[in-house]
């Protein structure tokens, strides 16, 4: 199942509810490129456009409000590889399943207690890591 098969979100035209206050919406960037909008509630947090000059495997990691809400991580798919490996927490945490969005982006939901998120393009590749920041 792809992310865009979920229920739509009230207040975000064409938005898709991921649960815990998270929502996504596809848009169109410059030159007709696909864009992914990331929302916390009805607040737009980020817009990623495919084919950006710097492909960010791990673009963002935020904790939903109120406290205790799930952590959402997102990024761009590697151009030459499979779905990235994603883990929530310190280096010994087990990877979770990232879900593909529009064949160009990925998102993953993790436990609210995670203070870091890391992603690797494939097994054996270096991990990129971000600290989780709360939605304000």
Lowest mean pLDDT among 2-11, 43-52, 85-94: 2-11
Summarize the confidence of residues 10-23 as an average pLDDT: 74
Lowest mean pLDDT among 4-18, 61-75, 79-93, 121-135: 4-18
What is the pTM assigned to this prediction?
A: 0.86
Strands (E) in 52-121, as ranges, are 60-63, 71-76, 85-88, 95-96, 99-101, 105-110, 116-120
Q: What is the pLDDT of residues 26-54, one digit of tens each?
A: 988 778 888 999 999 888 999 999 875 66
Spatial distance between the Cα atoms of 35 and 33, rounded to a whole number of angstroms: 6
Q: What is the pLDDT of residues 43-87, one digit of tens each?
A: 899 999 987 566 789 999 999 877 678 999 999 998 777 889 999
The answer to whether residue 4 scores a pLDDT higher than 60 is no
Question: Given phi > 0 = left and psi -120 to 50 = alpha, else beta, which region is 32?
Answer: left
| Sign of the C-alpha dihedral computed for residues 11, 20, 24 and 101 taken in this order | negative
Q: What pLDDT was estimated at residue 15?
A: 74
Report the Cα–Cα distance between both ends of the chain, in Å, rounded.
31
Spatial distance between the Cα atoms of 17 and 76, rounded to a whole number of angstroms: 20
* In the chain, domain spans: 3-134
Q: What pLDDT was estimated at residue 53?
A: 62
């Amino acid at each position: 199942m792809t992310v865009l098969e979920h229920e739509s979100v009230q207040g975000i035209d064409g938005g898709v509810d991921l649960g815990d206050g998270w929502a996504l919406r596809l848009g169109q960037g410059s030159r007709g490129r696909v864009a992914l909008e990331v929302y916390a509630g009805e607040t737009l947090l980020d817009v990623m456009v495919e084919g950006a000059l710097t492909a960010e495997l791990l673009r963002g990691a935020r904790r939903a409000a109120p406290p205790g809400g799930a952590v959402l991580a997102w990024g761009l798919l590697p151009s030459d590889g499979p779905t990235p490996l994603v883990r929530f927490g310190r280096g010994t945490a087990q990877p979770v399943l990232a879900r593909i969005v529009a064949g160009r982006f990925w998102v993953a939901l993790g436990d609210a207690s995670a203070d870091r998120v890391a992603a690797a393009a494939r097994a054996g590749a270096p991990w990129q890591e971000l600290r989780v920041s709360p939605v304000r």
